[in-house]
Structure 1
Amino acid sequence: MKLGYVIIYTNNVEASVTFYEKAFALSRRFVHESGQYAEMETGSTALAFVGDELAQSNVASYRKNTPAQEPAGIEVALVSDDLDAAYQRAVAAGAKPVNPPQTKPWGQQVAYVLDNNGVLIELATPMG
């Protein structure tokens, strides 16, 4: 097995794609004409978005992502060589600050924001 996708369910796929382009400097890899599925360029493991309508046809029920609720107990980690710039860009694009950049005991720098769907995003420098 290998990790193929991380998929975020959203009520607006296009808005999520546009947000990730602005906040995290990611490029769109694929957007389906239905507007219910998209992928971002994130390396070998794809970050994808699925519209709630399509998600509900795949999964009987789930807690919808919304900025009005606490984030789910999961995070998406994005890696950057310049954490301070990545954090500032995300916040300037509308990401909600959670924790500013700080250095962890193992030497890695990390910061946390919420995306436009209320999903917890870790911004981090590469390990080792």
Structure 2
Amino acid sequence: MAIQPIILTPDLPPLQAFYEQVLGATEVFRYPESGPVFYKTLKIGDAELRLVAEKADVSAPPRIALSIDVPDVDALLPLVEAAGGRVQGPPNDMPWGQRVAHVFDPDGNPVNLTQEL
């Protein structure tokens, strides 16, 4: 079994660019192969993130956050805003042994950047 997160977005290119620029995502699948794209799969490390071009209310409060393990939280924070996202605040060292920064992608989806201490 595997969990495969899918983000619905009204504007796929900036969302894809955010995950490419901040997390080094690479496109591994798109549908259709030519013409306007409806569906893409991005590879981030050993995981996959799917993006679907669909009318979506990005003003609705999010109900799910992505948590992504990264090698250096602090090094990625300057990339977030440059890629169209937003940093909620400075990173914090958590008592369970992780450094965590809360950010938002361009659609306002919460993303927790986590680093093992």
TM-score, structure 1 normalization: 0.77
Number of paired residues?
Answer: 114
Q: CA deviation at 1:108?
A: 0.4
List 4+ stretches of structure 1 deviating above 4 A: none
Cα distance in 2 for partners of 1:29, 1:46 equals 9
User: Is 2:78 aligned against 1:88?
Assistant: yes
**Larger mean Cα displacement after TM superposition, 102-111 or 15-24:** 15-24
The equivalent residue for 2:99 is: 109
How do 1:36-51 and structure 2 match up within 5 A?
36-51=38-53
Cα distance in 2 for partners of 1:45, 1:18 equals 17
* CA displacement, residues 2-56 of structure 1 (integer Å, 9 cap, x when unaligned): 2241000001223321221123221112222341100111244421001116xxx
The equivalent residue for 1:35 is: 37
Cα distance in 2 for partners of 1:99, 1:70 equals 21
Cα distance in 2 for partners of 1:103, 1:65 equals 33
The equivalent residue for 1:61 is: none
How do 1:8-87 and structure 2 match up within 5 A?
8-33=7-32, 34-52=36-54, 64-66=56-58, 69=59, 71-87=61-77
TM-score, structure 2 normalization: 0.83
Closer/same/farther in 2, CA of residues 122 and 40 from structure 1, 3 Å limit: same
Cα distance in 2 for partners of 1:21, 1:76 equals 15
Which consecutive unaligned segments of at least 5 residues does structure 2 have? none
Identity over aligned residues, as a percent? 27
Residue 26 of structure 1 aligns with an amino acid whose one-letter code is A
Q: CA deviation at 1:123?
A: 0.4
